[in-house]
């Protein structure tokens, strides 16, 4: 019999006094360990006392839902381009600089518009619906293996395996080649943290280089033997729109890296966070199981229950906690004047618990409706793969809970220790 892990070991409590102390000297470059374990009390303190906080480096940190939406809506004033910000961070011309400044998420129109249109053309509602049988089969095979083992690791053996396979399928990455993808992704996205050590930066640069070397071979093979552009994202990116402008080789390769990374890290966190949150809140887990039992074999009713649960997991523990913009001209946000060139950090994790929009925001409510969370962003940069992420979360969590209703942690889970991407590295569990 394995020991049961107490809920408070997952997200430790923080006193109001401690939250206020961190908020009073809040600096993304010097975040204490207890903040990384549980940032929400600090976010609440900032939202109440300093919602448009001027940071020690003269950037601004936003925590109110309405202020984030205002920035997301005004893409003409608030740029997503990161050349100015990333040149001193990574060094102009470095692999990390070249990757992040060419990827979809860190660009403005017209590049953003061209790349997003190509990606969305292969992520239609029909295309995503067609993925469901294969996704269910993948999840079931992972669950079979966990059943044989009597448990395993929620992250390594389950949550991370699903998006790697799905995005690998979208880009047509052969199964034997998928082994390094997770490590590359963690290293490249880890370099987006507010503070990056020389070792992390070196690993990130090497990972970009290794990934590019692999993708050049993959792209060359796909040019020789194209896939179905209605299903194969890589073929669609290579061919471009009929009669329209094609992506340059740099744009093509860097956005393949973006797709592999974005689709992997955030969805891994969604699935892992969901399963860990249910361990932390057993009453919510019982409520969800009861709702699924009540839905019975009604597929639509089950889908509704699980989709609401997935959106609440995204709100309550946002996979991506921070976003960034740069003001192209002097402007005002939340009553605070910002100068031209001001760097702005959008705190999604704080906005998703803003009581001005969400009733009882610190309560996990798996029946919450409506749930206008910002986990996928908002406006022209809203996540292109949000429907696919919801599908992955719904199938993975629903089938896991159906198969292992009494799963429990056997060791305290290990968090990723990052401010931008909130998730876990390891979470050993048992099904006995």
* DSSP 8-state class, residue 91: -
Cβ neighbours for 265, distance < 8 A, ≥ 6 positions apart: 185, 186, 189, 319, 421, 423
pTM for the model stands at 0.94
pLDDT at 6: 61
Residues in the chain predicted with pLDDT less than 70, given as ranges, are: 1-8, 241-243
Q: Quick one: tokens of 267?
A: 């969805």
Q: What is the pLDDT of residue 92?
A: 95
Can the peptide bond before residue 230 be classed as cis, meaning omega within 30 degrees of 0?
no
Helix axes 125-149, 386-403, angle to 10 degrees: 30
For the stretch 239-289, pLDDT in tens is: 886 667 788 899 899 989 998 888 888 999 999 999 999 999 999 999 999
φ and ψ at residue 404, rounded to 5 degrees: -125, 70
d(CA 255, CA 266): 16
Q: Which DSSP helix (H) or strand (E) runs through 78?
A: strand 78-79
Residue 208 token pair: 């970009």
Structure-block tokens of residue 278: 């249910």
Residues 6+ apart with CB under 8 A from 367: 287, 291, 308
Distance CA 48, CA 334 (A): 13
Predicted pLDDT at 162: 96
Task: Please answer whether residues 155 and 272 qualify as being in contact, where contact means their C-beta atoms are separated by less than 8 angstroms.
Answer: yes
d(C-alpha 367, C-alpha 126), whole Å: 27
Residue 405 burial (CB count, 10 A): 13
Q: Are 270 and 389 in contact (CB under 8 A)?
A: yes
Rounded to whole angstroms, the Cα distance separating 146 from 140 reads 10
User: Which tokens belong to 125?
Assistant: 């509602």
Give the whole-angstrom CA distance, residue 47 versus residue 77: 23
CA neighbor of 344 nearest in space, from 51, 145, 89, 131: 51
3-state SS assignment for residue 56? coil
CATH number, span 7-430: 1.10.630.10
CA distance 372 to 358: 9
User: By C-alpha distance, which of 280, 290, 222, 267 is closest to 131?
Assistant: 267
**Are the C-beta atoms of residues 234 and 177 closer than 8 Å to each other?**
no
pLDDT computed for residue 5 by the predictor: 64
């Amino acid at each position: 019999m394995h020991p049961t892990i107490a809920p408070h070991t997952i997200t430790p409590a923080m006193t109001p006094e401690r939250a206020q102390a961190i908020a009073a000297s809040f600096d993304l470059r010097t975040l204490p360990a207890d903040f990384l374990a549980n940032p929400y009390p600090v976010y609440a303190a900032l939202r109440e006392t300093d919602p448009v906080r001027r940071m020690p480096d003269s950037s601004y940190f936003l925590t109110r839902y309405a202020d984030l939406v205002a920035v997301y809506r005004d893409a003409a004033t608030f740029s997503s381009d990161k050349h100015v910000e990333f040149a001193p961070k990574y060094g102009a011309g470095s692999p990390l600089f070249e990757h992040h400044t060419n990827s979809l998420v860190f660009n403005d129109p017209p590049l953003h518009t061209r790349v997003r249109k190509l990606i969305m053309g292969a992520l239609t509602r029909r295309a995503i619906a067609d993925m469901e049988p294969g996704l269910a089969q993948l999840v079931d095979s992972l669950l079979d293996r966990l059943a044989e083992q009597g448990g395993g690791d929620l992250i390594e053996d389950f949550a991370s395996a699903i998006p790697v396979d799905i995005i690998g399928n979208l880009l047509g990455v052969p199964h034997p080649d998928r082994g390094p993808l997770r490590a590359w992704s963690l290293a490249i996205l880890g370099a987006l943290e507010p503070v990056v050590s020389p070792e992390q930066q070196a690993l990130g640069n090497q990972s970009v280089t290794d990934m590019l070397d692999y993708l050049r071979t993959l792209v060359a093979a796909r040019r020789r033997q194209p896939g179905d552009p209605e299903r194969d994202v890589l073929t669609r990116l290579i061919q471009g729109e009929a009669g329209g402008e094609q992506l340059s080789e740099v744009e093509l390769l860097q956005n393949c890296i973006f797709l592999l990374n974005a689709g992997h890290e955030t969805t891994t966190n969604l699935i892992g966070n969901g399963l860990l949150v249910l361990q932390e809140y057993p009453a919510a887990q019982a409520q969800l199981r009861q709702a699924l039992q009540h839905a019975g074999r009604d597929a639509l009713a089950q889908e509704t229950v699980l989709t609401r649960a997935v959106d609440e997991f995204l709100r309550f523990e946002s996979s991506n906690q921070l976003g960034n913009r740069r003001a192209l001209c002097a402007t005002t946000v939340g009553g605070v004047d910002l100068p031209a060139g001001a760097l702005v950090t959008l705190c999604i994790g704080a906005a998703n618990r803003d009581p001005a929009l969400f009733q009882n925001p610190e309560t996990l409510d798996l029946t919450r409706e409506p749930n206008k969370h910002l986990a996928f962003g908002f406006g022209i940069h809203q996540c292109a793969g949000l429907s696919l992420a919801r599908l992955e979360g719904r199938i993975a969590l629903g089938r896991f809970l159906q198969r292992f209703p009494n799963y429990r942690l056997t060791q305290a889970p290990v968090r990723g220790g990052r401010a931008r991407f909130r998730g876990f590295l390891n979470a050993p569990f048992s099904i006995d």
